[in-house]
């Protein structure tokens, strides 16, 4: 059976940015994409307070909505936390998990991320699982082993191409304006694919999307998205403005 090329996906991560004033960008995004053929899937992950509104504003468009984190449990005494089921209830279809900012500022371990991925699947969400090395780890030549360890610990055994997306985000490239070279990205994405092959069947391995994230913007996205095994992007800063975000989405030929 021929292996199917995954459909690319661009996911916007608004992080802790956005109040109701920012909804104008969503309106603009929907208007700019109205009736326009696009060659990739698109997801916007606003802060939790805006998910329902953004979902409703985008209901007539092809843009989906996602969360930026969830709790492993479906409900309970966890003040301030949000269950995957609650994200789903607000209209989310995706959730970003294990982002390096969560790992760093909230001490999230691979084991906790793995429980959250299972929770996302339980709620019917696609988990966008983030992994990536720090600058020190890169300088020590540890990029591939670090990413491999995170990947091994952060995803459960029963993942599918529908319910799981991997995002490779070098920590030092996030918000810094710096990116790895094309060859470096290619090498890490290939290593991730090889590792997936050890746990998953060939169809699933080939179909799982592996995104690049870290200072992706319209000016560098074309070169990055052309790298083999890069199946889309996780975009922070450049997802906040409709014009920049659509500048990346527009790089895919409509199909
Ligand atoms: P950036 O963020 O595009 O602003 O570097 C990416 C991310 O953290 O997901």
Task: Say how many Å lie between the CA of residue 54 and the centre of ligand 1.
Answer: 20
Residue 60's pLDDT is what?
87
Q: Is 99 a catalytic residue?
A: yes
The 3 state secondary structure assigned to the chain is: CCCCCCCCEEEEECCCCCCHHHHHHHHHHHHHHCCCCCCCEEEEECCHHHHHHHHHHCCCCCEEEEECCCECCCCCCCCCCCEHHHHHHCCCCEEEECCHHHHHHCCCCHHHHHHHHHHHHHCCCEEEEEECCCHHHHHCCCHHHHHHHHHHHHCCCCCCCCCEEEEECCHHHCCCCCCCCHHHHHHHHHHHHHHHHHHCCHHHHHHCEEEEECCCCHHHHHHHHCCCCCCEEEECHHHCCHHHHHHHHCCCCCC
Beta bridge pairs of residue 186: none
Ligand 1, residues at Cβ distance < 6 Å: 13, 169, 174-175, 213-216, 234-238
Instruction: Choose which residue among 130, 135, 214, 225 to substitute to test ligand 1 binding: the one with the highest number of ligand atoms within 8 A of its C-beta.
Output: 214
Residue 211's pLDDT is what?
98
Q: Which residues of the chain have pLDDT under 70?
A: 1-2, 4
Q: Is 135 a catalytic residue?
A: no
Residue 2's pLDDT is what?
66
- Angle in degrees, 0-180, between the axes of helices 110-122 and 143-154, rounded to the nearest 10: 40
Task: List the CATH code of the domain at 43-52+62-248.
Answer: 3.20.20.70
Residue 1's pLDDT is what?
56
Task: Say how many Å lie between the CA of residue 169 and the centre of ligand 1.
Answer: 8
Residue 254's pLDDT is what?
84
């Amino acid at each position: 059976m021929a292996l199917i090329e995954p459909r690319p996906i661009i996911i916007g991560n608004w992080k802790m940015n956005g109040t109701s004033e920012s909804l104008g960008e969503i309106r603009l995004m929907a208007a700019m994409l109205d009736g326009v053929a696009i060659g990739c899937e698109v997801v916007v992950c606003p802060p939790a307070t805006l998910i329902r509104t953004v979902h409703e504003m985008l209901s007539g468009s092809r843009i989906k909505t996602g969360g930026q984190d969830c709790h492993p449990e479906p409900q309970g005494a966890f003040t301030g936390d949000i269950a995957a089921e609650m994200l789903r209830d607000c209209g989310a279809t995706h959730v970003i998990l294990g982002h390096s900012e969560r790992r760093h500022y909230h001490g999230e371990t691979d084991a906790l991320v793995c429980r959250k991925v299972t929770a996302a699947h339980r709620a019917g969400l696609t988990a966008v699982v983030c992994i990536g090395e720090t600058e020190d780890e890169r300088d020590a030549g540890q990029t591939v082993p670090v990413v491999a360890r995170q990947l091994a610990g952060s995803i459960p055994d029963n993942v599918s191409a529908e319910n799981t997306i991997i995002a490779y985000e070098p920590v030092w490239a996030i918000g810094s304006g710096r990116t790895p070279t094309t060859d470096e990205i290619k090498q890490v994405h290939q290593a991730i694919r090889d590792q997936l092959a050890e746990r998953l069947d060939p169809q699933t391995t080939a179909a799982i999307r592996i995104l690049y994230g870290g200072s992706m913007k319209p000016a560098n996205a074309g070169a990055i998205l052309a790298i083999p095994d890069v199946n889309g992007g996780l975009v922070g800063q450049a997802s906040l403005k409709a014009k920049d975000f659509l500048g990346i989405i527009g790089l895919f030929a409509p199909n």
